[in-house]
Structure 1
Amino acid sequence: MKKSIALWMLLGTASGLAYGQGSVTLYGIIDEGFNYNSNADGHRLYNLSSGVLQGSRWGLRGKEDLGGGLATVFVLESGFDVNTGKLGQGGLLFGRQAYVGLSSPYGTATAGRQYDSVVDYLGQFEVGDQWGGYIAAHPSDNDNFNNTNRTNNAIKYTSPSLAGFTFGGVYALGGVAGSVGRNQIWSLGARYTNGPLAAGVGYLNVRNPNTSFYGGGGTVAPVTGGVPGSNFGASPVISGYASARSLQVIGTGAAYTFGAATFGATYSNTQFRNLGDRTSGPVPAGGIAGTATFNNVEVNFKYQITPAWLAGAAYVYTKNNGAGGSSGAKYNQGSVGTDYFLSKRTDVYLVVTYQKASGTDSTGKEAVASINQLTASTSNHQTAVRIAIRHKF
């Protein structure tokens, strides 16, 4: 149960005192469970992990009424690992979100570490953000639908709902002296909801993604199991593209609810452009140039068996058109899952994901299966199973 704490905020001014009424809410999620990976670098792996369906977190959300429909809003949200107690998002204290701003009848403007417009307007249509968790997301979450990466130094505008239509945008300053464009990020999105139908579009443009977007943003550091100087991680799906000068994502998604059933679909085009820029990230041996493109198509389905119990299935097809004449890779992925709510705040869930790969991956080698955020397989197929409990407070 969320706990709301009413606060009286006292503001001192030169001419007198002004009083504003506000509230602060403490909230959080604990997601913990058992995993099975059929091939983790050549071995079967059984382990506990935290935050697969939703990242384990705690946060503070606040609002102060300033009068005339104007209010101050803020969010501070910290991710953590239940098994070790360590901070998530590379050890950042408020690595999930940290922003402050103003809301009014004309929309909300905020500044800080925030989600981009692809996440805001398209994430809900992908199965990874519904019942599947990150193991059901698109390979390496190459389009960021599953919110693997946040945006630092971001200014965001979100419109009010206008007859079911909302829109917004994000602009993040690069913060590099003498170069306005370096490390900058911008995105736009819109969503329409009308009864059983929901649809959205989004666009994301990232300069120097290895330093501005991946690995927490703003730094270049060695990654365990990855390439020194790269924040792209160890997944061979995208790890060879850390030298991209820019990243572009264009996506769309929709869902339609018919009784207890919901049918959904997404499409995204992800481009790692101008590869071979050594000022952005490391270049693989033998060099790389040009643009690498991913096309992701997902169809998903869920059925509310009872008010407390749902089941779902999804299929994702990802085609990578590799750079420099490479034939690229193909990834076929299927997921099934079920989620049962023991109460309004506690549920137990099961997710199974299978992936098969073919072709040549980003590293120039024969493609192997690599389910999102798991250790890659040594073969062209991989199966992951997750049984877990989630509690919200």
Structure 2
Amino acid sequence: MKKLILFFGLSPFLTAAVHAQSSVTLYGIVTANVTYSNNAQTAATANGGRPAGGAQVAQFDSGTSGLASSRWGLKGTEDLGGGLKAIFQLESGFSVNNGALGQGGTAFGRQAWVGINADRYGTLTLGRQGDTSVEFVSALSYGWYWGNLAIHPADYDNLNFTHRINNSIKYLSDSFRGFRFGGLYSVGGVAGNVTQNQVWSTGISYTGGAFAIAASIINARNPNTSLYGTNANASATGNNLGSAGSATAPESNPVIAGFASARTQQTVSVATTYTTGGAIFGVAYSNTQFRGLGSNPSLNTFNYSGSTTLSTVGASLRYQATPFLRFGTSFDYTEGGSVGNKGGAKYEQLNLGTAYSLSKSTEVYVTGAYQHASGTDSLGRPAVAAIGYLTPSTTNKQVAVSAGVKHLF
């Protein structure tokens, strides 16, 4: 009886001790901004085949044109002993405009994974997550200085984490003398052809003092499905890379929309930064090949064959002027997309941004971008400017400015 009394008397403390080994954290970003664009299409095939529209547009969005998109999530960890921890993360994007889910209505569209962390040996996770370019290269090539207006055209290299990898297994090492490495593999899930929709990627980074460098490669089979078709609203048979538009709808992602029939997409990216005082200087390069065009005949609207390449080289400067005020600027040059006797396109873009912290959790910001396009895009048409996730311009030039507020919790 004394033992029973002792057990029940101590049980609340024993329970507290067990729970002390586990934790769940609620976190998120709530952001809203007003974005101005000097030119936007309203249709794609009016006026003798040239896009119609061209009016100025001001719109309210939930960070998709600002510093960061709105999201909330849960992170959890449980100490298993012996240096092992069980971990998980669930993250959902949403719009403050109307409360709608992001990522095409996917409940935990940004991230959803579970795994094991082992001291000194790294982390193994399974689920919906980012590839190694997101883990290693993105932090050096993008940042909170100029935001989503500054993505490479159509985010074709996924350095802005537009596309998540479903059904994936990922390993990330711990840091060893400044080095980290990792790899990801996503099973295709197609009966009789396990490699049809597979995705694999690998990456490495090094940080030593003021210098940092990272590189990654990602290879996606049938990218229209395995890479671009992973959201809840993705088409099972249609083009998920973009659209040629219509007499009543504008183009979407004209930089890459014509390459949906590719058998394979492979992207190599590398970025480096050097920090001195409050300034960070950066250089980045990415190269994407769409191989085996025409492999999916139903998506080969333009009867392409062979392969095509897009590449971007960029330079950036980020400066922390005071503990509260920061500035950033970058310039990117993108070219490629030629197929057969169809010449490719060129895109030049200048980005600017500034943010002021009102507290540790809240800041106001202004970002801006100017893009100039030339040549022939993936739709076989004169290339039009297309900044960030905005509606493309009717001409080869586009200017966009975004101002908003971001709150972390």
TM > 0.5: yes
Q: C-alpha offsets along residues 321-340 of structure 1, whole Å, 9 cap, x if unaligned?
A: 41223210000000111111
Post-superposition Cα deviations, 1:241-265, rounded to whole Å, max 9, x if no partner, equal 1111110000100000111111001
- How far is the alpha carbon of 1:9 from its aligned partner? 11
Contact 2:103 2:232 in 1 (8 A): no
Q: Deviations over 1:102-155 (max 9, x none)?
A: 00011110000000001111001223x332222111111111111110100010
2:369 aligned with 1:377: no
**Corresponding residue for residue 265 of structure 1:** 283
Q: By how many angstroms is 1:21 displaced?
A: 2.1
Distance 2:21 2:286 in 1: 44
| Of 275, 282, 285, the match for 2:299 | 282
Say which of 257, 272, 275 aligns to 1:254: 272
The 3-state SS of whatever aligns with 2:21 is strand
Name the aligned partner's letter for residue 182 of structure 1: Q
Structure 1 segment 335-346 matched on structure 2, within 5 A: 335-346=351-362
Aligned counterpart, 2:130: 115
Name the SS of the counterpart of 1:264 in structure 2. strand
Matched, 1:327 2:339: no
Over 3 Å counting, the alpha-carbon distance change for 1:218 and 1:19 in structure 2 is closer
Matches within 5 A, 1:17-96: 21-41=21-41, 42-51=54-63, 52-96=66-110
**2-structure distance, mates of 1:25, 1:296:** 38
Residue 178 (structure 2) aligned to one of 152, 161, 164: 164
* More strand by percentage: 1
Aligned equivalents of 1:149 and 1:321: distance in 2? 20
The Cα of 1:307 is off from its aligned counterpart by: 1.0
Check whether the contact 1:9–1:20 (CA below 8 A) recurs between aligned residues. no
* 2:307 matches 1:291: yes
The higher radius of gyration belongs to 2
1:277 Cα deviation (Å)? 1.8
Contact 2:105 / 2:233 at 8 angstroms: preserved in 1?
A: no
SS at the partner of 2:77? strand
CA contact (8 A) 1:139 1:237 kept: yes
Q: Which amino acid aligns with 2:343?
A: S
Q: 1:329 to 1:20 in 2, by over 3 A?
A: same
* Aligned counterparts of 2:364 and 2:323: Cα–Cα separation in 1: 14
- 2:33 alignment partner AA: G
Where does the alignment leave 5 or more consecutive residues of structure 2 unmatched?
A: 1-11, 42-53, 243-251
The 4+ residue runs of structure 1 with deviation greater than 6 A are 7-10
Asked if the contact 2:104–2:233 (Cα under 8 Å) also holds between the matched residues in 1, the reply is no
Which of residues 201, 223, 243 is equivalent to 2:215? 201
CA distance in 2, matches of 1:133, 1:336: 9
- Corresponding letter in the other structure for 2:152: H
SS in 2 for 1:160: coil
- Deviation string, structure 1 residues 274-311 (Cα, Å, up to 9, x no partner): 111226x61124x1111110110010001111011011
Q: Who is 2:255 aligned against?
A: 237
**What is the alpha-carbon distance in structure 2 between the residues aligned to residue 184 and residue 47 of structure 1?**
38
CA pair 221-8 structure 1, distance change in 2 beyond 3 A: farther
Q: Show the counterpart of 1:225.
A: none
Gaps of 5+ in 1: 1-6, 11-17, 223-227
3-state SS, counterpart of residue 149 of structure 2? helix
Partners of 1:136 and 1:75 in 2: how far apart? 27
Aligned partner of residue 211 in structure 1, secondary structure = helix
Instruction: Out of 356-365 and 212-221, give the one that drifted further.
Output: 212-221
What's the secondary structure of 2:188's corresponding residue? coil
Q: Report how many aligned residue pairs link the two structures.
A: 372
TM-score normalized with structure 2 length: 0.88
Q: 2:116 aligns with which of 102, 105, 111?
A: 102
SS of the residue 2:67 aligns to? coil
Question: What is residue 158 of structure 2 aligned with on the other side?
Answer: 144
2-side partners of 1:325 and 1:174: how far apart? 34
- Root-mean-square deviation (CA), in Å? 1.9
Identity of aligned residues (%): 48
Once residues 173 and 45 of structure 1 are traced to their aligned partners in structure 2, the CA distance between those partners, rounded to angstroms, is 42
Q: Distance in 2 between matches of 1:274 and 1:99?
A: 32
Secondary structure, aligned partner of 1:118: helix
- Bigger drift between 203-212 and 19-28 goes to 19-28
CA distance in 2: counterparts of 1:201 and 1:192, whole angstroms: 9
Aligned to 1:171, what secondary structure does the other structure show? strand
- 3-state secondary structure, aligned to 1:124: helix
Residue of structure 1 equivalent to 2:169: 155
Q: Note the alpha carbon deviations across 1:197-226, whole angstroms, 9 max, x for none.
A: 11100000000011111142598528xxxx
> Which amino acid is 1:121 matched to?
F
- The residue that corresponds to 1:4 in the other structure is none
Distance 1:290 1:346, change over 3 A: same
What whole-Å deviation, never above 9, does each CA across 1:158-193 have from its counterpart, x for those lacking one? 101101111101000010000011110000001111
Change in CA separation of 1:153 and 1:8 when aligned onto 2, cut-off 3 Å? farther
C-alpha distance in 1 between matches for 2:21 and 2:55? 57
CA separation in 2, counterparts of 1:9 and 1:44?
A: 64
* TM superposition score normalised by structure 1: 0.91
Q: Distance in 2 between matches of 1:344 and 1:164?
A: 28
